[in-house]
Amino acid sequence: MNITKEQIDDLNAVVKVDITREDYQDKVEKILKDYRRQANIPGFRKGQVPMGLIKKQYGKAVLVDEVNKLIQDNLNNYLTEEKLDVLGNPLPKQQDNFNWDADEFSFEFELGLAPEFEVNLKTKKSIPHYKIVADKKMVSEQVDRIKRQYGKLVSKAVIEKGFEVTGNFSNESEEINRDSTIELDKIKSKKALDALVGSKVGDTVTLKTKGLFKEDYLLPSVLGVSGEKAEGLNIDVDFTIQEINEREPAELTTELFDRLFGEGTVSSEEEMRAKIKEDAEKQFEQQADQKLLNDVTERLIDTVKFELPVEFLQKWIQTTGEKTLSEEEAKDEYEKSEKGLRYQLIEGKIIKDNNIELQFDELKEFAKGFIKSQMAQYGQMNPSDEDLEPILMRVLSNQDEVKRLSEQLMSKKLLDLYKEKANLKVKEVTYDNFVKEVYG
């Protein structure tokens, strides 16, 4: 067997594979002899079928199969030995009048080669690195929410602003009959508020559903209808008042601090506010990091320039999917995937240039941290190694989970690299301003 390469240009090459009779004959003969020993053909005893009949019946199929195996194994070895960085897979060139009855065969394969390029993380224009801060207003709102959540309900005779009211919502034609509790602070409609304030237990107030609440998600749960039905719902509902309560804010005591943050963690309102700020900013950091990762990715795609073997890639897309595409369909698919392919190559270059590797021990620790964070959501703050180990082994035995965690760990390593080497400019913003700037 002989394999040679013809370089068409920097991004395209053709590999020619020449196969002689000596390369495949022994394997083909051995397989046909095995077939002969096992063949059950009427008129012949098992193992006594003439070899000529075996060759006539199975010879061509065995030859094609063995030649294809030879090509696949040797072509892959050649690409590895020659250190050819190919895109997609080699594409066989169409050969007219190919003759499988010949003793020698020649096959040609088109290659799309990865371009050579350099990546400079120090882009000319700086990339914003958001630092999201929890301002005093946000912290105060959270303190107020905690006070209300852990406060006590005091029964009242007449509704006033800020009270909580329990009652029955009904509309016979829409089959609505639901007992619910509403907070007057969450009502948007001034007309509804005016109708409720001053009412007593036993009174029935008619409310219009459209624009009733400040948040749209409240209406379906209050009325007991689907979100789809609640969207755009504009009807009158009768609200019969059953119970009126004022929620007295909880006092900020050591008992409440221990309940919220763990024993001895917080001992004063000042420390509580500092803890709320710290915890909020930790959560915001994940969002800021994801934004940074996206921004660096976009900037690198825009600034790192290189050519791709477009014609080859479109042909590869056209012929290697579940179904053969037309040239126009393949072109469309290429245009959709080009950006992703470019970043895949850029990311691979960054990983190689900076010797970034994933070690199993690192992945194991990363998975352990992920499991701990999941358990913390269910109140298990400090699980023991004995508790963690069986869960960890179960996670690491799942290939999909290992792949997902490996991708997350690689993203973290790339993010750390970008923070160290990219041209970043820290931009401190409140969460509200971050949302406005990023999501409009």
List of residues 6+ apart from 48 with CB closer than 8 A: none
Task: For domain 2-113, give the fold.
Answer: Alpha-Beta Plaits (3.30.70)
Q: How far apart, in whole angstroms, are the C-alpha atoms of residue 183 and residue 149?
A: 12
Mean pLDDT by 10 residues, the chain (440 residues): 94 95 92 85 79 88 93 94 93 88 92 95 93 94 92 94 95 94 94 96 95 93 92 94 94 92 90 94 92 95 95 92 89 94 95 94 91 76 79 91 94 95 95 88
pLDDT reported for residue 327: 92
* Cβ–Cβ < 8 Å for 36, 54: yes
pLDDT reported for residue 313: 95
102-105: long-range contacts, CB 8 A cutoff, minimum separation 24: 103/20, 103/21, 104/18, 104/19, 104/20, 104/21, 105/18, 105/19, 105/67
pLDDT reported for residue 381: 64
SS3 159: coil
pLDDT reported for residue 379: 64
pLDDT reported for residue 243: 96
Q: How far apart, in whole angstroms, are the C-alpha atoms of residue 339 and residue 333?
A: 11
Classify burial at 102, counting beta carbons within 10 Å of its beta carbon; exposed 0-12, middle 13-18, buried 19 or more: exposed
Domain spans in the chain, listed from the N-terminal domain onward: 2-113, 152-248, 267-306+354-439
* Cβ–Cβ < 8 Å for 166, 185: no
Reported as half-sphere exposure (CB side, CA atoms, 13 A), residue 21 has a value of 4
* Cβ–Cβ < 8 Å for 182, 222: yes
What's the CATH number of domain 152-248, 3.10.50.30, 2.60.40.1170, 1.10.620.20, 3.90.1150.10?
3.10.50.30
pLDDT reported for residue 406: 95
* Cβ–Cβ < 8 Å for 40, 49: no
Q: What is the DSSP string of 2-62?
A: EEEEEEEETTEEEEEEEE-HHHHHHHHHHHHHHHHHH---TTS-TT-S-HHHHHHHHHHHH
